[in-house]
Amino acid sequence: MAGRRFPNAVARNRAKRLLRETSRPLLSDSRGPWDLVFIARQQILALPAPRRTALVSDLLHRAGVLSEEALTSA
């Protein structure tokens, strides 16, 4: 999900796409079936891929979605 505060639809869709492609490999190692909602912010557009992966991984770990082993392998 991305709010209307993005400058245009292209940026909004890019942010959603970046979140999906960042979280997909991380969630393949998750501990169970989850219904997750990510809300994209404009800052995601400027983050490099490794930093984005680290942030999403940390977020998923703090939420209890990822195990400790999945966190170290990401």
- Domain annotation covers residue 66: yes
* 9-62 pLDDT tens trace: 999 999 999 999 999 998 887 777 878 898 888 999 999 999 999 999 999 889
Whether residue 3 is contained in a domain is answered as no
Domain count, the chain: 1
More confident site: 3 or 6: 6
Q: Which residue has the tokens 């960042």?
A: 22
| Domain with 22 in it | 9-73
| Structure-token pair, residue 39 | 């809300």
Per the domain annotation, does 59 fall within a domain?
yes
Please check whether residue 39 lies inside any domain of the structure.
yes
Whole-angstrom distance, CA of residue 70 vs CA of residue 28? 9
Buried b (16+ CB within 10 A) or exposed e, 25-58: ebeeebeeeeeeebebeeebeeeeeeebbeebbe
